């Protein structure tokens, strides 16, 4: 049923690559329904290629993605935070976070996604991206130059208005003092713990911006966290930089680099907050 629905949502003429991304999401959706009831879902089964622990939940999702690519004979390389780089001799690379918001999923909080994107060398090269909400079922996607969509409807960022401002900030022990100042100044603040979902919500006008900046570079985000959200937000009319305002377009599609992220819908939001003393 899910595959039939997403096929109906993809713009015509048919887009085989985008449809394949939807099908990857469907595979993980089915896998997560089974894995989230397992008593071993939070077991640490390995260390990921990014140097962080891999829970059984992530491993199950990633294994299903690789199996799908083989069964469909899709010649894509894979970049995943768990497996690292899988060179399959392809021209395109599937940049995937099998479960973005793993801790939310393990605790039963409804903020976790699968994030998949196709590109070549840098974020700028991302041709298509899909973020699928694994808890609530919504799907955001974008193809370069063709706009951004949620569940078949075109989306766009919102015009900033201080009276109704809302933005997302990653908060916690390792947040920078700058991030905390942003949170203190904001009219309304949310912190969901899922970068791809928060960027997608900015793209649809649900928020004005998303900020992630931790106190050590090794605690910041990888390209796997933001590749799909980047393409969706840019196509919806927004922009993405690091916390200091430097564009992240040239971030390479590897796990060797991390970055802070400031994703915004309307540049007026940044102008107003920086005029008020924010960095």
Give the mean model confidence (pLDDT) for residues 118-130. 96
Sign of CA dihedral 22, 28, 33, 34: positive
| 44 pLDDT above the threshold of 50 | no
| 272 pLDDT above the threshold of 90 | no
Whether residue 243 is found in the same domain as residue 148: no
CA distance 104 to 99: 10
Most confident of 61-65, 77-81, 257-261: 257-261
Domain-terminating residue out of 155, 170, 187: 155
Output Rg (C-alpha) for the chain, integer angstroms. Answer: 18
- Residue 68 banded pLDDT, cuts 50, 70, 90: very high
pLDDT of residue 35: 55
Asked if 102 and 58 count as a contact pair (C-beta separation under 8 A), the reply is: yes
Provide the edge-to-edge strand list for the sheet that holds 113-119.
84-86, 77-80, 93-100, 113-119, 128-133, 139-143, 148-150, 153-155
As for how many domains the chain has, the answer is 2
Whether residue 127 is found in the same domain as residue 56: yes
Q: Which domain holds residue 179?
A: 162-275
Whether residue 191 is found in the same domain as residue 142: no
| 38 pLDDT above the threshold of 50 | no
Whether residue 139 is found in the same domain as residue 198: no
Mean pLDDT of the chain: 86
- Residue 50 banded pLDDT, cuts 50, 70, 90: very low
Whether residue 28 is found in the same domain as residue 119: yes
Whether residue 143 is found in the same domain as residue 52: yes
Question: Is 99 buried (19+), middle (13-18) or exposed (0-12) by CB count in 10 A?
Answer: buried
Whether residue 250 is found in the same domain as residue 269: yes
Whether residue 168 is found in the same domain as residue 263: yes
Domain-terminating residue out of 100, 134, 155: 155
| 43 pLDDT above the threshold of 70 | no
pLDDT of residue 186: 86
More confident residue, 110 or 11: 110
Whether residue 17 is found in the same domain as residue 97: yes
| 132 pLDDT above the threshold of 80 | yes
CATH number for 221: 3.40.190.80
Contacts of 14 (CB under 8 A, 6+ apart): none
Domain-terminating residue out of 137, 155, 173: 155
pLDDT of residue 216: 93
Whether residue 140 is found in the same domain as residue 232: no
pLDDT of residue 267: 92
Whether residue 110 is found in the same domain as residue 243: no
Whether residue 85 is found in the same domain as residue 191: no
What predicted TM-score, i.e. pTM, was given to this entire model?
0.88
Q: What is the pLDDT of residues 142-151, one digit of tens each?
A: 999 999 999 9
């Amino acid at each position: 049923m899910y595959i039939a629905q997403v096929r109906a949502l993809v713009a015509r003429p048919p887009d085989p690559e985008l449809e394949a991304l939807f099908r990857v999401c469907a595979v993980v959706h089915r896998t997560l329904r089974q894995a989230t009831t397992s008593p071993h879902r939070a077991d640490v089964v390995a260390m990921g290629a990014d140097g962080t622990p891999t829970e059984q939940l992530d491993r199950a999702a990633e294994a299903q993605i690789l199996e799908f690519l083989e069964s469909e004979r899709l010649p894509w390389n894979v970049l995943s935070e768990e497996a690292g780089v899988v060179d399959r001799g392809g021209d395109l690379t599937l940049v995937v976070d099998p479960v973005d918001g793993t801790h939310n999923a393990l605790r039963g909080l409804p903020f976790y996604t699968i994030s998949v994107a196709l590109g070549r060398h840098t974020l700028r090269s991302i041709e298509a991206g899909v973020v699928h909400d694994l808890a609530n079922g919504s799907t955001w996607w974008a193809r370069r130059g063709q706009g951004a969509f949620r569940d078949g409807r075109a989306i766009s960022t919102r015009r900033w208005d201080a009276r109704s401002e809302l933005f997302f900030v990653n908060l916690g022990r390792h947040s920078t003092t700058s991030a905390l100042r942003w949170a203190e100044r904001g009219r309304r603040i949310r912190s969901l713990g899922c970068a791809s979902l928060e960027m997608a919500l900015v793209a649809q006008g649900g928020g004005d911006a998303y900020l992630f900046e931790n106190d050590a570079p090794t605690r910041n985000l990888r390209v796997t966290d933001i590749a799909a959200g980047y393409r969706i937000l840019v196509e919806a009319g927004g922009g993405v930089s690091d916390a200091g305002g430097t564009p992240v377009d040239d971030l390479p599609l590897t796990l060797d680099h991390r970055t802070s992220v400031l994703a915004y819908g309307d540049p007026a939001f940044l102008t107003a907050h920086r005029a008020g003393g924010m960095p």
